[in-house]
A and B are shown apart, each in its own frame.
Chain A
Amino acid sequence: MTTLEEVQTRVHVPLVQPRLPRQAPGIVGVIAIAFGGLLLVLGTGLVGSVIIGAIAFLVVLPVWSLVIEGRRGATDRLMTGLIWTSFGIAVVPLVSLIWRVISKGAGRIDGTFLSYSFFKTQIDQPVGVYHAIIGTLLITLGAAIISVPVGVMAAIYLVEYGKGNKLAKAITFLVDVMTGIPSIVAGLFAFALFTLIFGPAYVSGIGGSVALSLLMIPIVVRATEEMLMLVPDDLREAAYALGTPKWKTIVRIVLPTALGGILTGVTLAISRVIGETAPLLLIAGATDRTNMNLFDGAMTTLPVLIYGQNLRGDAPAEAIAWGAAFILIVIVMVLNLAARIIGKIFAPKKG
């Protein structure tokens, strides 16, 4: 019996080990915040206090854990803390930006702000950003009309036809390079192109659309390519085996299957270019009037308007800039929501 007991004690591994109380992170967190608050009162700056508080948290909790839980527990606590801190660092600017734009911009929004342009026909007429909203929507729509067919078809070539050949590899490389071109370069390209064709001092909305489409195409190509590659080859083979020609397989089977993702990619691309300023300053110019014609005359977009108002720098102009920024963010959000809804509708259904 004694030998059996010895064996049992030797192989017994305790599954319950000492743990910190469940509220431990909360307790340490409160202490760290209190510590930071104390430093703030004592005269350390806000940023400094937050950083020192965070470091205090990241030191105290793992050390406490090391004493009670051992090494593995301490490492776990430290890594969890680091990940949450990184998350906070990533989110804080985002939230603060949105908060600032809403708090400063939302107040400026009213009926006249949305329906009048800068161009006054009477001395006491209110000013609004109607002309810039129209300009933004038209120029971006123009860019989308140019770049979506080009981008989607280029991606179809890359995935369905050029699979792995040298031309496709070269195109993929160039698309990657294009993703990185500075927007001002795209603006200069459009400027040079239209100057060559129409002569000097040419200004129009479509020029802006061309510049933006240069920035959009690589994003659309990349997103569409990824989505098309996700479509299983099984489906293509199933269609071929029914005697379906390749182009029809692509149009009727592959594209509908990938449609949700492609739409998301297109929306992301639009959101990316809708806030562009530099290329539009070069080629689309700026105006106070509402211009509905993409092909004739200067057009103002919201980012260009924000830039212009910011340059003036007086209080009413600044308020207009914040209001315009708010509208721009709302437009981007609506676009994203629309893309999600459309993506959901077209996603392959189950059950």
Chain B
Amino acid sequence: MAKSIDISDVNIYYGDFLAVEGVNMTIRAGAVTAFIGPSGCGKSTFLRSLNRMHEVIPGARVEGKIVVDGQDLYEPGVDPVAVRRQVGMVFQRPNPFPTMSIYDNVLAGLRLNAGKMKKSAADEIVEKSLRGANLWNEVKDRLNKPGMGLSGGQQQRLCIARAIAVEPQVLLMDEPCSALDPISTSAIEDLIHELKNEFTIVIVTHNMQQAARVSDDTGFFNLKATGEPGHLVEFNPTKKMFANPDDPATEAYISGRFG
């Protein structure tokens, strides 16, 4: 299922404001790619442009090419809804649907898009997705309880289960652990390791150790200067990035000496 993503000369705008400039990279299939960088440098903006969530904000647009599986996501005529079915996303704050039970939350993507399905097939998908998200054992006895009743970490894993239930090719994660405690964070990091066999994973994180722990490749974003657009400073295998980065700015950021 996993697919690679080729990005060339991507500029991202909010109205007239250029937020991210000139990004080129190749995200490998079946690997975990992490984006790090200071706040406001455009990591999340860039991540959201990978499944056309960026344009949900009025006036936002993207220039350049983002090619998944041989198809440019931004070619005219491409349906953003179809893109998002291939490229799933997990958000910073857990956001299960409040009107739905745990069971319905997992099936939400399928039910909303494909309509009715057989009960047995639905049960199977729910169990598979919840097992995939390491949540099955905790919730199997209360699948019909509201998803909002779970703890924050469980809710986030429920959101991951919901995202992988539609079997996307790529899974984007926007700081998935920033609202969670260390134990929940470690549960989700373990999960990311397991998921990368099936999905291409792209994760934005503020936590350098997390990037070092979970990712195979790392991209460092930074602002050229205050008020200037963000850009990709360096993109390398994580090992090299943390041991011997090419760019002195990367080394300064990773070692905590910003600037």
Residues of A at under 8 Å CB distance from B? Answer: 163-164, 232, 234-245, 248-249, 252-253, 256-257, 259, 346, 348-351
Contacts and interface: CB of A to CB of B under 8 A. Distances in A.
B112 A242 contact: yes
Interface in B50-70: 51, 53, 56, 58
A238 B84 contact: no
B121 interface: no
A52 B53 CA distance: 66
A236 B148 CA distance: 16
Interface in B131-162: 145-146, 148-149, 159, 162
Contacts of B95: 232, 234-235, 237-238
Nearest 10 CB-CB pairs, A to B? A243-B85, A348-B98, A242-B109, A241-B89, A351-B149, A234-B95, A243-B84, A256-B99, A349-B146, A244-B112
B200 to A, nearest CB: 15
5 contacts: A234-B95, A241-B51, A241-B163, A244-B113, A350-B148
B58 A164 contact: yes
A350 B99 CA distance: 9
A309 to B, nearest CB: 47
A241 B58 contact: no
A276 B243 CA distance: 78
B88 interface: yes
Contacts of A242: 84-85, 88, 108-109, 112-113, 162-163, 166
Give the secondary structure class of A's interface: helix
Given A164-B58, A349-B148, A351-B149, A245 B81 contact: yes
A251 B85 CA distance: 19
Interface residues of B, number: 30
B82 interface: yes
Contact of B56 (A237, A253, A349): A237
Interface in B168-222: none
Given A164-B58, A348-B98, A241 B112 contact: no
A315 to B, nearest CB: 55
Nearest to A235: B95
Contacts of B85: 242-243
A243 B82 contact: yes
- Residue from the set A232, A243, A348 with the largest chain B CB neighbour count within 10 Å: A243
A240 B52 CA distance: 10
A346 B146 CA distance: 12
Given A241-B84, A243-B166, A348 B113 contact: no
B14 interface: no
A214 B113 CA distance: 37
Nearest to B112: A244
Given A241-B88, A242-B108, A351-B145, 20 more contacts: A234-B91, A236-B56, A237-B56, A240-B81, A241-B84, A241-B163, A242-B85, A242-B88, A242-B112, A242-B162, A243-B85, A243-B109, A244-B109, A248-B113, A253-B112, A257-B97, A348-B99, A349-B148, A351-B146, A351-B149
Contacts of A245: 81
A252 B112 contact: yes
B108 to A, nearest CB: 6
B107 to A, nearest CB: 10
Contacts of A235: 95, 97-98
A103 to B, nearest CB: 44
Contact of A163 (B58, B91, B145, B163): B58
B69 to A, nearest CB: 15
A237 to B, nearest CB: 6
- Residue from the set B84, B99, B162 with the largest chain A CB neighbour count within 10 Å: B99
B38 to A, nearest CB: 23
A163 B56 CA distance: 12
Given A242-B162, A245-B81, A348-B148, A253 B89 contact: no
- Residue from the set A164, A259, A346, A349 with the largest chain B CB neighbour count within 10 Å: A349
B128 interface: no
Given A235-B98, A253-B97, A256-B99, A240 B56 contact: yes
A249 B112 CA distance: 8
Contacts of B97: 235, 238-239, 253, 257
